[in-house]
Structure 1
Amino acid sequence: MGRGDLSDEEWARLEPHLPANHGRGGRWQCHRRVINGILFRQRTGLPGRDLPPCFGSWKTVHDRHRRWSADGTWERILRAVQADADTEGRIDWSMVSVDSTTCRAHQH
């Protein structure tokens, strides 16, 4: 496991909320490896084609990230993980902040 990769505990929380891998031959490559590749790209900002081979094909990582962004999978995962954390009392909702650093005022 590399620096910044999902720990076993993080993966255990995330895995139940991921799309199922079923069908002939299985539709997906290893979710964990691909998600670690997505996180690596987000963390480093490197171009997709320069992704180290330990994360699998750069195209698989790119396509999965794009597909899950378009179909709402990431949003569903976020909501499910937040709901789990809230149920366990690990979220303090009193610490909510709204950033209004960009405000525009017009004379009209």
Structure 2
Amino acid sequence: MGISPCVPSRIGRKVPIPHDAELYRLRHRIENMIARLKDCRRIATRYDRCPILVLPACAVAATVIYLCKSCL
């Protein structure tokens, strides 16, 4: 499929495997945002099964997360 891993190898590994640090940083940001979205109960429990309703709910939750983060 042409997909390459971007997770760094463990610190104690004798021969470290090279990885793309910038790609890993972006991947980590996305995973953190998904974890924050799952804090929203409506998103985590999937009350809305239809994608037409889920995507706006995710957008509203992401906006609230962004606004609350910028207030701190």
Give the TM interval when normalised to the shorter protein. Answer: 0.3 to 0.5
Give the structure with higher Rg (CA).
1
Q: Which has the higher helix share?
A: 2
Q: Report the TM-score, using the length of structure 2 for normalisation.
A: 0.34
